Structure 1
C-alpha cells in the first residue's frame, strides 16, 4: 500500500477521482500505472501534477511550464548543452535552462529580464565571475537563421503565440543539419479552439518527420489552452538510457514495480 500523495510505480493500481461542481456526483475509477513519463503511459504523480518548487526569481510562469515538462518527459538535459528558445521573453524558460547549466540562445524581439541577461556573470545568480551563458537574438523567429546559432545545438524549444504548424515549421528549420548533437525538441502547441485537436495526428507526424524517434503530447497541469509536445532523437533516447542505468528509480530508492500496491490520484 502507498499513501495518497506518493508516486505510483509501474504496475501499481491507481484510484482516479474526478470532482465536478458542487452537487454533482464524483466519478471514481482505477487504472494500472504503465510508465513514469509522458511517452510511456502516463505520469506517476497524484493528479498528474508534477511537483515544481516555487522559484521567486523566475521571470514568468514559463519557468514552471518548462520545469514540469522536463520532469514529465524525463528529458535528458545536461549542463553544458546548448539550447535555442523561440519566444524567450521575458525569460522564464530560459531561466530554467540556465539554472540547469545550459547555454541558451533566446530569440524574441521583446525585452529579457536582467536576471537572464546577466546570468553567470559577476554578481548574478549563476555565480560570480563566470562566463555569460545567455545570448539574446532580438528578432522574430522568422528572422533568425541556422547560421546565427552554434554548430552544436542540443535542444530547440518553442513557446510562441502562433499556430502550431507555423511553430513546428520554424523548429524544423532550426533543427536541420548540422544536427549530430541534437538531442530533442520541446514545443508548446497553442490552441485557439479545442476543435483544433483534430489536427493532433498531423502535428505528431510533423515532429516525427524531424527525425524524432520518441514523440509525446500531453496537456500538463501548468498548460492552459495549449499542449506540451516533445521529440527525442536517437541520441537523446540513448543519453537518457545511459543516465537511467546508474540512477535511482522514481521513488528515489531504486526502480520498483509490482502488481499489488495502490496509490491515490485525483484528476
Structure 2
C-alpha cells in the first residue's frame, strides 16, 4: 500500500506530479511521482508503506488543484476467470469498507471498460457483502477500484469525506436545454465543489445580486438567474433573449475589466478569456475593495509550468489581501468541465452577509 493513485484530466499528468511532489516535500513524505502523458492518471510512490496514508491525512482533497480523485493502495493483476475470488483474497487484509466505487480512467480505453464495470459491479458487491468486506451503513473507508484493463486494477482506499464527491471526480450534471451555452455547467460544477449543498439556500438565493463579467451570451448569467438573483451582465456582445425576458438581467455594454458596481453585490462571476495574471488582479480588486462578497473566476493556463504559474498567482492574490488587511478564503480547482483553465472561488470572511427577506 505504498502508492497514492490519482485521476486527472488527460494532458495534466505533469501538473498532478508537480503538485503532489510539492506537498510531499513540505510534509517530509519521501517518494517520487510518475505518470505517462495522456494517461489521465499519476502515481506517487512512497518510500515508506505509511506514506500515502500520511499524505491523505495531512491534505484535504478538496484543496488540491489538479487531481480529480485519489486513493492509497496497489495494483493487482486479474485473471480471465474468478476475478472476484482474487479481489476477495487481496481485500482479506484490508478493513471493511462502507462503499465501493468501480472507476475507469478518462480515456477512450477507459470509456470502453465502463461497460465491463457496470456488469461486474453487481456480482462483486454481493460477494463483498457476503464476505463481510462491505458494510454500507458502516463508517469504514471507501473502496475505490480503478480498472486500467480487465486484467489489472488499482485496489485503493479513501475516506468518503476526503475524496471526490463523484466516481472519478466526474459530476453527473445535466445540461439545461434553456441555457444559452454549455459553459453554464462550469459555474454549476463550481458551486457543487466549493459550496456545501446545505448552504446553497443561504449563499445562493433570490434576495441576492450578482455581476457577470464577459457575460454574453449568458451561460453563467443563467445559473445566477436560475437561483433567482438580480444580475448585471457586462459584455459588448448580445445576451440571449430568453435571459433578458426574465426581467432579472440588466445588460450593460461595458468593459469587464473597468466596470465597478455602485454598491456591494453578493456574487461576481467571470469567464473572460484573458491572461491569467489579469483575471487574478481582477479578483484582488473585487474582493479586496469589497465590491462583492463571493466570486468565481476562471484563470486560463499557460502552455508550460501550469502548476507553478497557478501557485504563483494564488500566492500573489493571498499576499495582496494580507497587505490590505482583509480576510478572504481562496479555493482553486481544475473542474471536470474546465479545459485549459482552473476555477477559483473566493469569499470575504470579514463582511457580514446581507440579511435575506
Fold similarity call, TM over 0.5: yes
CA-CA distance at 1:25 after TM superposition: 7.4
Matches of 2:195 and 2:139 in 1, distance apart? 15
- Is the 2:231–2:249 contact (alpha carbons within 8 Å) kept by the matching residues of 1? yes
CA-CA distance at 1:10 after TM superposition: 8.6
- Is the 1:17–1:29 contact (alpha carbons within 8 Å) kept by the matching residues of 2? yes
- TM-score of the aligned structures, taking structure 1 as reference length: 0.68
Matches of 2:172 and 2:180 in 1, distance apart? 19
Partner residue in 2 for 1:228: 343
Q: 1:139 to 1:25 in 2, by over 3 A?
A: farther
- Is the 1:213–1:232 contact (alpha carbons within 8 Å) kept by the matching residues of 2? yes
Of the three residues 290, 302, 312, the one matched with 1:192 is 302
Gaps of 5+ in 2: 1-97, 103-137, 197-202
Matches within 5 A, 1:19-38: 19=148, 28-33=154-159, 35=161
Matches within 5 A, 1:97-176: 97-119=224-246, 132-144=247-259, 146=260, 149-176=261-288
Matches of 2:309 and 2:227 in 1, distance apart? 33
Matches of 2:279 and 2:150 in 1, distance apart? 40
CA-CA distance at 1:191 after TM superposition: 1.4
Matches of 1:79 and 1:16 in 2, distance apart? 42
Q: 1:54 to 1:141 in 2, by over 3 A?
A: closer
User: Which string of whole-angstrom CA distances, capped at 9 and with x for unpartnered residues, describes residues 10-59 of structure 1?
Assistant: 9632415264xxx8975614242363xxxxx4432111122222311110
Matches of 1:4 and 1:24 in 2, distance apart? 16
- Is the 2:100–2:143 contact (alpha carbons within 8 Å) kept by the matching residues of 1? no
Q: 1:27 to 1:170 in 2, by over 3 A?
A: same
Q: 1:11 to 1:94 in 2, by over 3 A?
A: farther
Matches of 1:96 and 1:10 in 2, distance apart? 35
Matches of 2:141 and 2:213 in 1, distance apart? 39
RMSD: 3.1
Matches of 2:170 and 2:257 in 1, distance apart? 34
Partner residue in 2 for 1:68: 189
How many residues in Structure 1 have an aligned counterpart in Structure 2?
A: 212
Matches of 1:10 and 1:215 in 2, distance apart? 30
- Is the 2:287–2:293 contact (alpha carbons within 8 Å) kept by the matching residues of 1? no
- Name whichever structure is richer in helix by fraction: 2
CA-CA distance at 1:150 after TM superposition: 4.0
Partner residue in 1 for 2:126: none
Task: Say if 2:216 is the partner of 1:89.
Answer: yes
Partner residue in 1 for 2:4: none
- Is the 2:264–2:293 contact (alpha carbons within 8 Å) kept by the matching residues of 1? no
User: Which string of whole-angstrom CA distances, capped at 9 and with x for unpartnered residues, describes residues 110-134 of structure 1?
Assistant: 1111112222xxxxxxxxxxxx221
Partner residue in 2 for 1:43: 164
CA-CA distance at 1:214 after TM superposition: 2.4
- Is the 2:143–2:158 contact (alpha carbons within 8 Å) kept by the matching residues of 1? yes
Q: 1:117 to 1:84 in 2, by over 3 A?
A: same
Q: 1:105 to 1:32 in 2, by over 3 A?
A: same
Q: Which has the larger radius of gyration?
A: 2
CA-CA distance at 1:206 after TM superposition: 3.7
**Which one scores higher on RCO, CA 8 angstroms, separation ≥ 6?**
1
Q: Which moved more, 1:217-226 or 1:90-99?
A: 217-226
- Is the 2:99–2:141 contact (alpha carbons within 8 Å) kept by the matching residues of 1? no
User: Which string of whole-angstrom CA distances, capped at 9 and with x for unpartnered residues, describes residues 198-257 of structure 1?
Assistant: 112222224433445422211111111111111222168x97xxxxxxxxxxxxxxxxxx
Q: Which moved more, 1:104-113 or 1:45-54?
A: 45-54
